Every structure is written in structure tokens, then in C-alpha cells.
Structure 1
Amino acid sequence: MQSEYSLSDVLERMYENQLALEAALMELTLHVEAHGHADVGNNVRGALETIGENSGHIKQGLARLSKLP
């Protein structure tokens, strides 16, 4: 049985936190943009793009880790 504090479990939870933060940032971005701060929205969208790009790599790494003995 896998420990709840195994490396793969901890990394999976960190990945889930990243997705949750990404969603929260997008909600805040939409709110900020709706109140006339497109420049701030653009800055945050740049950061969100990086998060999105990295999430694919993280997910692939987690899939590989889960296959290890």
C-alpha cells in the first residue's frame, strides 16, 4: 500500500494545488479586466500561460513516477 506521504502522492497534491491556483488566478484576472485593468490582466495571463505549459510536463512526470516500482 502506498504511503499517503510518498513522493508521488506529495507531487500529485502539489500539481492539484497548482491547478487550483491557476483557476483562482483566472477568476481574479477576469474580475480585474472587467474593472478596466487590461494591463494587469495581460501580465497575469502571461504567468498563467507559463503555468499551463509547465502543467503538461508535470503531469507526464507524475505518470512516469506512478509506473516506477
Structure 2
Amino acid sequence: MPNSSESNVATADALTLLLHNQHALAAAIEEVTKWLSGNGVDAVAENAVAAMETLDTNAQTITDAIMRLREL
């Protein structure tokens, strides 16, 4: 069984990959949002913006957790 430090590194690495995925999803949603806005589907675009705000909020929390794990 890995020690606590090894577990923290593995967890931080996994969270980092999830964070990268989250950034990629946000970028994709942003592109779709621009397209929706440009094609007059503003209500749907607003919902997409709300989803991106949630991703941004969660990304910061994940980043903070990664930093704490890497400090241990």
C-alpha cells in the first residue's frame, strides 16, 4: 500500500487531469455559446454561460485542493 505522500501525489495528479478536462469542456461550451449567440439563440446561450460559471467556480476549488495535496 502506498504511503500517504505517494497517495497525495497520485490524487493530485488525477485531479490535475480532471481539471484539464474541465478546462477543455469550458472552452467547448464557450465556442458553442458564441455560435448560439451569433445565431439568435440567446436563452440557450445564457444557460451555457451559467454552466461555464459553475465550471469556473469548481475549477478554483479543485485547484486549491491540488495545491494542498502537493504541499503535504
TM-score (norm 2): 0.82
The answer to whether residue 48 in structure 2 is matched with residue 44 in structure 1 is yes
Name stretches of at least 5 consecutive residues in structure 1 with no aligned partner: none
Q: In percent, how many aligned pairs have the same letter?
A: 32
Alignment equivalent of 1:12, drawn from 16, 23, 38? 16
Residue pairs, 1:1-69, within 5 angstroms = 6-68=10-72
Name the larger-Rg structure: 2
* Aligned length, in residue pairs: 65
Question: In structure 2, how many angstroms separate the alpha carbons of the residues matched to 1:54 and 1:14?
Answer: 11
Q: Which has the higher helix share?
A: 2
TM-score (norm 1): 0.85
Show structure 1 runs of 4+ deviating over 2 A.
Answer: none
